[in-house]
Amino acid sequence: MEPLLVSTGIVALAEIGDKTQLLAFILAARFKKPVPIILGILAATVINHGLAGMLGAWITENVEPEVLRWILGLSFIGMAIWTMIPDRIEEEEIQIAKRLSIFGATLITFFLAEMGDKTQIATIALAAHYASPFWVIVGTTLGMLIADVPAVFIGDRFASRIPMRLVHLIAAGIFILLGLVTLTGTAEKLGL
């Protein structure tokens, strides 16, 4: 259960204010049809995070444990720093949305927006950390949906009321904690 719960929580927090959440606001405002947007988010996330989870599992199998511990620990700390940098939506992503069906626009723009995004990198790191890619992928997908589905329904008028800085600080704190726990080997020492 830990890989599922940690993955869900981290990605849900990291996704708040992320460019894909902003993209969900834009698509909802433009198309006003939540079901195909939500299905597009789900499909894009499963594909994107599925690939990331498989990469994380491959890393676990092919990288020495001591090297992996350092890579993961520093990656989590790097994710903490990255979480504090605000995202912007690329103009190309908006242009794609204008030419496709609502589902297709959402699928493609979300998939592209997630490529190399902090939540995709987090999925790789979490899958490698827990050596449980299936539950990490389920967790990160749930985290994306927890953050993005409300964005589809409430639009950007409510987003201004969410204290983004506080949310990003909490997410960064969790990433730093994971990084330190990984670097010090605390989880293994405690039998977790």
Q: What is the pLDDT along the chain (192 residues), one digit of tens a residue?
A: 899 999 999 899 888 777 788 778 777 877 778 899 999 999 999 999 999 999 989 988 888 888 877 877 787 787 677 667 665 555 665 566 567 788 988 898 888 888 877 888 889 989 988 878 999 999 999 999 999 999 888 764 555 565 657 766 776 777 788 778 777 877 566 554
**pLDDT recorded at residue 42:** 96
CB-CB contact of 106 with 40 (8 Å): yes
**pLDDT recorded at residue 23:** 79
**pLDDT recorded at residue 78:** 78
- The pTM assigned to this predicted structure is 0.70
**pLDDT recorded at residue 48:** 94
**pLDDT recorded at residue 98:** 64
CB-CB contact of 170 with 10 (8 Å): no
Residue 24: count other Cβ atoms within 10 Å of its Cβ: 31
In three state form, how does the secondary structure of 105-148 look?
Answer: HHHHHHHHHHCCCHHHHHHHHHHHHHCCHHHHHHHHHHHHHHHH
| Domain extents in the chain | 2-189
**pLDDT recorded at residue 140:** 95
87 in the Ramachandran plot: left (φ > 0), alpha (ψ -120 to 50) or beta?
Answer: beta
CB-CB contact of 56 with 127 (8 Å): yes
**pLDDT recorded at residue 93:** 56
**pLDDT recorded at residue 35:** 92
CB-CB contact of 40 with 102 (8 Å): yes
**pLDDT recorded at residue 8:** 95
